[in-house]
Amino acid sequence: MQKRNFVVYDVFSSERLAGNPLAVVFDTEGLDDAAMQRIAGEFNLSETTFILPPQNPKHRANVRIFTPMHELPFAGHPTVGSAIAITEAAGASSPSIFVLEEKVGPVRCAVSEDDKGMFAEFDLPRLPEPVPFSADSAAIAAALGIAPQEVGFENHVVTQYSGGVPYVLVPVTGLDAAGRASLDTRTWVELTGPAEALSPGAFVYCRETVGHGNSFHARMLAGHLGIPEDPATGSAAAAFAGAITRFDRPADGVWRYAIEQGIEMGRPSLIRLELDVEAGTLAGARIGGHAVKVSEGSLLV
């Protein structure tokens, strides 16, 4: 038995008991992949991270990310939460800029503090790329339990993008349709293929929002992966950057979007997505958000 310290943060929120919970395990010596997976299952949060020494001494840490069922190469709320947890554990003064190693590759992070608390932002390690997807809007609507005419708005149609983790991006007409969406996992697997670590979740979004000044309202449903609904999904926002660029065609410059999520779950979250557009194409992107510590303790494993 070994005592291993951990902390739990609520990510993409500056308020406790909101946002997306994340467990961060610091003392990882002697843990193999199977043990990390079992610990993630014990926490039973959407993700748990394990902080290991970096392979490159110029980097801050190597971060392994696990859902209760699978390891992920990249995820947004674990990156934001881990960056803030590492900074606070070290007692570092902000702002602090460093690189985390994830399976997807090096991830540059910046941690700072504002009037709402600790804030972290990271550069997307991969820009979103389209993934072929052939299901029509009627099939998607059936899987989500909404009417076919409620899928799509303006020129937005169903697409699939990946910025390291794939998502089927489903535009819906408004808050009512988004609120009624409920994923039929059997139908979804028939559309997307067997449920594996990188099977796509459904990222349902609309332009109508609850919060004044927010850009999009979203939900992420992935019951086939053991996550009926996720309160805040940074990797989905990374994929969503591809759809925004494709359908909204932002002019050259820096664009900032506030994406609200988790409201239907009673865990309101806010994700900041920034796009750098050059010559009409996406040249870079960043995802940021606040995080606040809600608990800490030790594992005896």
What is the CATH number for 228?
3.10.310.10
Catalytic annotation present for 42: no
Catalytic choice (15, 29, 42, 47): 47
Question: Nearest to residue 196, comparing CAs of 166, 170, 158, 174?
Answer: 166
Per the DSSP assignment, residues forming a β-bridge with 8 are 23, 295
Residues 174, 263, single domain; the answer is: yes
pLDDT band of 293, cuts 50, 70, 90: very high
Q: In sequence order, which residues have a C-beta less than 8 Å from that of residue 93 and are 6 or more positions away?
A: none
Tell me the two tokens of residue 172: 């819906």
Instruction: Indicate if 60 and 176 belong to the same structural domain.
Output: no
Q: What is the average pLDDT across 47-57?
A: 97
Scanning 137-288, the segments in alpha helix (DSSP H) are 137-144, 175-180, 185-192, 234-248
Check whether 94 has a pLDDT greater than 70.
Answer: no
Q: Which domain holds residue 16?
A: 3-123+290-300
Residue 197 has a pLDDT of 79
Distance CA 51, CA 43 (A): 16
Task: Give the C-alpha distances (Å, rounded to integers) separating 91 from 22, 27, 87, 94, 97.
Answer: 20, 17, 6, 9, 14
Residues 186 and 252 in one domain: yes
83 and 38 fall within a common domain: yes
Total tally of structural domains belonging to the chain: 2
| Cβ contact 278:250 at 8 Å | no
Distances (CA, A) of 110 to 16, 64, 98, 163: 22, 19, 7, 19
Closest to 215 measured CA to CA, from 255, 168, 267, 263: 255
Query: Max Cα separation, the chain?
Result: 58
Q: Are residues 70 and 216 in the same domain?
A: no
- What per-residue confidence (pLDDT) applies to 226? 84
Q: What percent of the chain has pLDDT over 70?
A: 99
Average pLDDT score over residue span 240-247: 98
Pairing of strands 253-261, 227-230: unpaired
- Output the pLDDT for position 93: 65
Mean pLDDT, range 153-172, rounded to an integer: 97
Residue 265 has pLDDT above 80, yes or no: yes
Question: Which residues, in sequence order, are CB contacts of 264 under 8 Å at separation 6+?
Answer: 178, 179, 219, 229
Residues sharing a CB contact under 8 Å with residue 42, sequence separation 6 or more, in sequence order: none
Q: Are residues 134 and 268 in the same domain?
A: yes
pLDDT band at residue 225 under the 50/70/90 scheme: confident
Domain check: are 96 and 197 in the same one?
A: no
